[in-house]
Structure 1
Amino acid sequence: MEKNVQIGGLIIRFVLGVIFFMHGLQKFQGGIGNTAGFFQSMGIPGFLAYAVGTIELVGGILIILGLGTRVIAALFALIMLVAILKVKLKAGFVGGYEYEIALLSMSLFFTAAGHPYFSLDNLLNRRKQGATVKLQG
């Protein structure tokens, strides 16, 4: 992979992680019970606010570190899809769900492609491959 593409992906992965981390942090600092109430008002079970907040908070850190990138990105994509369909769709594209579409697209990219550049996933895979080579050799 070309170095510029790797650096660009790293920047996008970092930004995606920071955005989700901050949203998760906001849910807990603002009172997760308030978020649960909002979820219920939208027809979403309130207990899911705790799951979403945790995925955003912890997942944001994991994406920044590049650990479990594909799985976390898939969870982010699911969260964005539900946010678009249940909350933002009525408002239309501009001023409605354009931001969520951007986050959904970034998440889908990492779900499909992963991103090994400067990631713990890559480091762990190298160690695993090195151990396999040593066992076989």
Structure 2
Amino acid sequence: MISRLNYAFLSLTTHPEFGKLLLRLTFGVLMLFHGVAKVQHGIGWISGMLIAQGLPGFIAYGVFVGEIITPVLIIIGLFTRQAAFIYAFNILVATLLVGMGKFFTLTNVGAWGLENEALYFLGGLSIMFLGAGKYTLFAGKEK
């Protein structure tokens, strides 16, 4: 009985290509919200943080690559692995700039202080290692 239920459940839920699409859409769309916020409100504060760290302020424009261009590429499935690598790198840089003070903290609900950053970073790495899958606007180009 349990074996038959398990087999039925597995046959209904074994869709790795759809899982890759869902992963790409989830992380791509959620990151686009961050990119749109940068377009609406500017990146001056990021530039200021970079300058305070002794880095050139123009590097802040890279946020548009990491939070707009790469999520779009991930969503449509074009250069997915490369885009996901840049996406994850963008999160790593953002975390190093603004999040390291939260490394050893927990929130009021018990979450790790860098939980969101870790989720985005590891999601990007997961997409990089999995690739686009077969459901892309450019089917057959990536595996």
TM normalised by structure 1 equals 0.76
How far apart are residue 68 of structure 1 and its match?
Answer: 0.9
How far apart are residue 111 of structure 1 and its match?
Answer: 1.3
Q: Calculate percent identity across the aligned residue pairs.
A: 33
How far apart are residue 42 of structure 1 and its match?
Answer: 5.1
Q: Which runs of 5+ in 2 are unaligned?
A: 1-12, 108-112
| Bigger shift: residues 23-32 or 115-124 | 115-124
Q: Which of 1 and 2 has greater Rg? A: 2
Q: How does 1:39-54 map to 2 (within 5 A)?
A: 39-41=50-52, 44-54=55-65
How far apart are residue 60 of structure 1 and its match?
Answer: 1.4
How far apart are residue 3 of structure 1 and its match?
Answer: 4.9
TM normalised by structure 2 equals 0.74
The structure where helix makes up a greater share of residues is: 1
Q: CA separation in 1, counterparts of 2:64 and 2:41?
A: 11
- How many residues align? The count is 125
How far apart are residue 74 of structure 1 and its match?
Answer: 0.2
Q: Which 4+ runs in 1 deviate beyond 4 A? A: none
Aligned residue among 28, 31, 39 for 2:39: 28
| Residue equivalent to 1:120 | 137
Q: CA separation in 2, counterparts of 1:59 and 1:107?
A: 10
1:31-62 Cα offsets, whole Å, 9 max, x none, are: 22333224334555321211122331121111
Aligned residue type for 2:141: L
